[in-house]
Amino acid sequence: MDWTFNNDMPIYTQLVDKIKLSIVSGQLPPGEKLSTVRDLASEAKVNPNTMQRAFQELEREGLVFSQRSNGRFVTEDMEVIMEAKRAMAQEYIRGFMENMEKLGYTGEDIISLIRGGKEEDKQ
Amino acid sequence: MLGKLIKHEFKGSGRTMVPFILMCLGLSVLAGLSIRGMENLQDYGWFTVLFGIVIFLFVVGLMAVCIMALVVCIERFRKNLLGDEGYLMFTLPVSVDEHIFAKLIVSSVWFVVTWLVCMLAFVLMLLCNVDMIEVNWSEIGYVLNEVWGRLVDFGLLHIIAYILELLVLIFAACCVTCMQFYSAMAIGYSFSNHKLLLSVVFFFVINVALSILQPLLLSITGNAGVIDFMIESVENMSAPVTVHMILLGTFLYMLILFVILYFPTRLLLKHKLNLP
Amino acid sequence: MTATFECKGLSKNFGSTQALEDVNISIAPGRVVGLLGPNGSGKTTLIKLANGLLTPSEGEVLICGDHPGVESKAVVSYLPDKTCMPLWMNALQLMDFFQDFYQDFDRQRAENMLQRLGLDDRQRLRQMSKGTREKVQLIMVMSRKAKLYLLDEPIGGVDPATRDYILDTIIRNYDPEAAVVISTHLISDVEKILDEVLFINRGRIMLQASVDDIRQQYGKSVDEYFREVFKC
């Protein structure tokens, strides 16, 4: 996992995003056992309390669950994972749209631009 | 915790002292053998020069051990408590009193050990030549017998007590000497600059102050009638008891000096510590 | 719950210079707190007061509810901003020393960390590089199961690799029951491992806040925010 952080956002939300990305992309498959808070904190070079907070957030969203004494696991509920994936996609699209609008493009222009890009890729 | 401090203090100071002591004892044997060689050598070749050098080194070695005991006493306090190592020492779960006493006890032990080593060195040197010394054993036996008789007459218990009291007194004197250095450094090092220079200055100031204090103490006790009382009591005592009283008096005097030096030192180390 | 480390109206002056002025802080167990301020702002003075190396001019310092003394020293693990271990000692002798004086010293932990470092036990501190000395010193300090760790400039004057090692050692030894105070002016390096920060300037505490709160509220890192607050 890439553990670089932006300066303008809380660290724990960035941790949530990074782990979420690993889960929805399948890098952390459903049912996979997660490393301990301490190990992950050490790997990411962050405060264990911050990592803990990120996990709590992920638990709240249902993406991971903890089994007493066994540790933490990625959820096996594909519905939840897909839902998270959709939400993330929506988030990326919103950001993308914002940037495009800053460049002066509007809805239809953007779509045709993307199509054009795809055509070029094929050729 | 005092025991542990003492243990580590011995480790820290023994590093310097033990090699010096061993060197001294080694040199004493070499010097003894050199003397023996000189006696046997008829022609004065360069062997004589060599032997002369060895004997000279032996004398230097003896002086070096005595000086080192003093240097170690001062440096262990200065570096270990008032230097960078002070950060480690003063954050140990140990009281300031234990720190001072550990240093005092170990330094005093080294002073006594040094003294014993010097004596042992001479004995070793003599032992190397023991066969060359003509001894009239019967005469020595006679003298020893005589001395023993006198001691028994005087009271053997008294003699043993004197030796013990004298040892305590020597130890106390060593402690007071150490405290003079410690108090001077405690004052000098509580300043931010010129710590070492100020320590030296305060060492002399303390010495002068104590020498002024001495007659002052005497006159105070004199005025209070203590001395009259003492003379009076001594007149009523037997000779052996009088000696005990003198030793006790000297000890009490040392104790007063010690207390005068100890408490300011303790206070400074506790509240005015100024680590680099 | 008693705070692990607390200052109430704490002031300290050296002669006419005021090093600390009316400091009021409280640090709970399990928190990793950065004591951040420019050079000469009073960081080291505050830490020395907590260790009982200095006596307050006014106010008080409390370690788990007690004034600094023999009891508090048994539960505080202190890393000074300079090498304080006797240079003639090697790692083995240092471990013996710590084991003798601190009941909470975990020798196994120290040995594991030294082994991970690939250090020769018998090499004297004097023969080590500055970075290695700092690491060994940190290993001794972090091998105690203390209630409060006071680390004064643990990453000052060492190369980036050593810096990473030191920060990793602090994270790995994190204990939810203990508080850690790290004083530094190298904020960007420690920011990620902190829960809270204390900004200190000219002997006064300017701010006590959580790292993520600062990032959330101001949309910038603690380092950037610090530069803004302390702009010359």
Q: What is the pLDDT of residues B184-225, one digit of tens each?
A: 999 999 888 888 999 999 999 999 998 888 788 777 776 766
Chain B residues with CB-CB distance to C84 below 8 A: 84-88
Q: Find out whether C192 and A54 touch, Cβ atoms under 8 Å.
A: no
Q: What pLDDT is attached to residue B47?
A: 74
Q: Which of B260, B165, B267, B172 is nearest to B217 (CA)?
A: B260
Band the pLDDT of A121: cuts 50, 70, 90.
low
Quote the mean pLDDT of chain A: 86
Average pLDDT over residues A91-120: 83
Quote the mean pLDDT of chain C: 90
User: From the list C55, C70, C74, which residue is nearest B271 (CB)?
Assistant: C55
Burial (CB count within 10 angstroms: exposed 0-12, middle 13-18, buried 19+), residue A43: middle
Full-model pTM: 0.86
Average pLDDT over residues A18-46: 89
Average pLDDT over residues B131-154: 82
Average pLDDT over residues B61-85: 93
Q: Is 70 exceeded by the pLDDT of residue B80?
A: yes
Q: Which of C68, C119, C69, C131 is nearest to C94 (CA)?
A: C119
Average pLDDT over residues A39-49: 89
Please give the Cα distance from B210 to B204 (Å, whole number): 10
Q: Is 60 exceeded by the pLDDT of residue A123?
A: no
Chain A residues with CB-CB distance to C216 below 8 A: 9-10
Please give the Cα distance from B254 to B208 (Å, whole number): 16
Please give the Cα distance from A121 to B273 (Å, whole number): 75
Q: What pLDDT is attached to residue C52?
A: 92
Contact C221 A7 (CB under 8 A): yes
pLDDT greater at residue B219 or residue B263: B263
User: From the list A7, A9, A53, which residue is nearest C224 (CB)?
Assistant: A7
- SS3 (DSSP) at C89: coil
Contact C100 B8 (CB under 8 A): yes
* Distance to chain A for C197, nearest Cα, Å: 13
Please give the Cα distance from B8 to C20 (Å, whole number): 36
User: From the list A8, A42, A49, which residue is nearest C168 (CB)?
Assistant: A42
Q: Which of C208, B29, C161, B34 is nearest to A45 (CA)?
A: C161
Q: Find out whether C40 and B256 touch, Cβ atoms under 8 Å.
A: no
Average pLDDT over residues B109-120: 92
Contact C192 A46 (CB under 8 A): yes
Q: What pLDDT is attached to residue B11?
A: 94
Q: Is 80 exceeded by the pLDDT of residue B177?
A: yes
Please give the Cα distance from C34 to C155 (Å, whole number): 12
Q: Is 90 exceeded by the pLDDT of residue A115?
A: no
Judged by 3 or more CB pairs under 8 A, whether A touches B is: no
- pLDDT tens column, C189-211: 888 899 999 999 999 998 899 99
User: From the list B4, B80, B275, which residue is nearest C101 (CB)?
Assistant: B4
pLDDT greater at residue C2 or residue B39: C2
- SS3 (DSSP) at B183: helix
Please give the Cα distance from C43 to C185 (Å, whole number): 10
At C62, which amino acid appears?
Answer: L
Band the pLDDT of B79: cuts 50, 70, 90.
very high
Chain C residues with CB-CB distance to A4 below 8 A: none
Q: What pLDDT is attached to residue B245?
A: 81
Q: What pLDDT is attached to residue C231?
A: 78
Q: Find out whether A33 and A72 touch, Cβ atoms under 8 Å.
A: yes
Strand partners, C79: C151
Q: Which of B70, B61, B168 is nearest to B118 (CA)?
A: B61
Please give the Cα distance from C51 to C162 (Å, whole number): 26
Contact B8 C97 (CB under 8 A): yes
Average pLDDT over residues C173-183: 92
- pLDDT tens column, C85-116: 999 999 999 999 999 999 999 999 999 999 98
Band the pLDDT of A109: cuts 50, 70, 90.
confident
Output the six-digit token pair for C102.
């601190």
Q: List the single residue in A with minimal CA-CA distance to C188.
A: A7
Q: Find out whether B254 and B173 touch, Cβ atoms under 8 Å.
A: yes
Q: Which of C117, C110, C74 is nearest to C92 (CA)?
A: C110
Average pLDDT over residues B118-146: 84
Band the pLDDT of A2: cuts 50, 70, 90.
confident
- pLDDT tens column, C121-131: 889 999 998 88
Sign, Cα dihedral of B33, B35, B40, B46: positive
* Distance to chain A for C36, nearest Cα, Å: 17
Q: What pLDDT is attached to residue B42?
A: 65
- State whether residue C10 sits within 8 Å of chain A by CB: no
Output the six-digit token pair for B67.
């000086």
- State whether residue C104 sits within 8 Å of chain A by CB: no
pLDDT greater at residue A59 or residue B221: A59
Any idea of the CA torsion for B170, B176, B180, B185, to the nearest 10 degrees?
100
- pLDDT tens column, B20-56: 999 999 999 888 888 877 777 666 677 778 888 888 8
Output the six-digit token pair for C165.
């090692």
Output the six-digit token pair for B257.
């000096």
Chain C residues with CB-CB distance to A7 below 8 A: 215, 220-221, 223-224
Q: What pLDDT is attached to residue C161?
A: 85
Q: What pLDDT is attached to residue A55?
A: 92
Contact C32 A46 (CB under 8 A): no
Strand partners, C20: C12
Chain A residues with CB-CB distance to C30 below 8 A: 49
Chain C residues with CB-CB distance to B95 below 8 A: 70
Q: Is 80 exceeded by the pLDDT of residue C21?
A: yes
What is the share, in percent, of chain A residues with pLDDT greater than 70?
A: 94
Strand partners, A73: A33, A65
Q: What pLDDT is attached to residue B118?
A: 92
Q: Which of C121, C126, C132 is nearest to C161 (CA)?
A: C132
Which residue out of C170, C192, C194 would a mutagenesis test of the A interface target, given it has the greatest number of A Cβ atoms within 10 Å?
A: C192
Q: Is 90 exceeded by the pLDDT of residue B127?
A: no
Q: Find out whether C209 and C36 touch, Cβ atoms under 8 Å.
A: no
